[in-house]
Amino acid sequence: MTILPGPHALVDLASDDPSSTAATHERLLGREVGAGTDGRRAVAVGNVVLSLRARSDEADTHDVYFTVDDVSATRRLLDRRGHPLADSALGALGETSAVGIAARPDPVADPGSDLIGLDHLVFTCDNRDAAVALFAGTFDLDFRLDQPIGQDARQLFFRRGDLIVEVVAAPRPPADPVPSSPVTLWGVAWRSTDVDATHARLTAAGLDLSEIRVGRKKGTRIFTVRHRELATRTVVIGPEA
């Protein structure tokens, strides 16, 4: 799959209160979250389109669509690779996963905000090989790193353009229910050009933030945005001052 200019992914978050989620994202991103497809709210930020929908039930998960130039051709390819897709309001979603494809939108002009897109998406998975097969083998993401992070747990990194997909792979406790998708979106990390400026702006906007701390990736600093209204775990990451 050729990666062309424009957003590399469409992240469709399931929210218990989409209006509150949209309003909180407007404060976070410093830009308007407008009307989206099929009653959703949506906003494009650099390498990602963020879409917000009402959660249908407790089992309703967030969905991630990788953008492609030719949906029909890519859909046929994924079907031959054993990952059939079903039509959805935003594109085509995996019949057995919360990952699919959507048409690549045109690039959106940067309004000059300190948050310029997503640095990475974080998924969880109970099987390392299943994550590699899905993201690298099926969706052609560039598999960059596999490292142990604890007993029986591994941290995997994939890349699509300037968007990083991180997967924490660890065995599922036997008592936990079997998930409907082999991977689950756990959280997102927004990329800031100036972490101190973003922290100051969001503090002035009344958001509940952690202190800025040194990131795990060398040369980065990071802080957490502690608002359940965002519908998923959210951090901001950027370069050292």
Strands, E assignment, the chain: 9-15, 34-35, 41-45, 48-54, 63-68, 85-87, 92-94, 99-103, 115-125, 142-150, 153-160, 163-169, 183-192, 213-214, 220-225, 233-239
What does the pLDDT read at residue 5? 63
| CATH code of the domain covering residue 65 | 3.10.180.10
Residue 99 counted as domain residue: yes
For the stretch 162-182, pLDDT in tens is 999 999 999 887 777 777 788
Residue 140 counted as domain residue: no
Residue 88 counted as domain residue: yes
Residue 41 counted as domain residue: yes
What does the pLDDT read at residue 1? 47
Beta-strand pair 92-94/99-103: antiparallel
What does the pLDDT read at residue 203? 97
Q: CA 79 to CA 222: how far, in whole Å? A: 39
Number of domains in the chain: 1
Residue 220 counted as domain residue: no
Supply the range of the domain harboring residue 65: 9-103
What does the pLDDT read at residue 112? 76
Residue 153 counted as domain residue: no
What does the pLDDT read at residue 179? 77
Number of H helices, E strands in the chain: 4, 16
What does the pLDDT read at residue 142? 97
Residues of the chain with pLDDT under 70: 1-5
Residue 186 counted as domain residue: no
Residue 18 counted as domain residue: yes
What does the pLDDT read at residue 93? 97
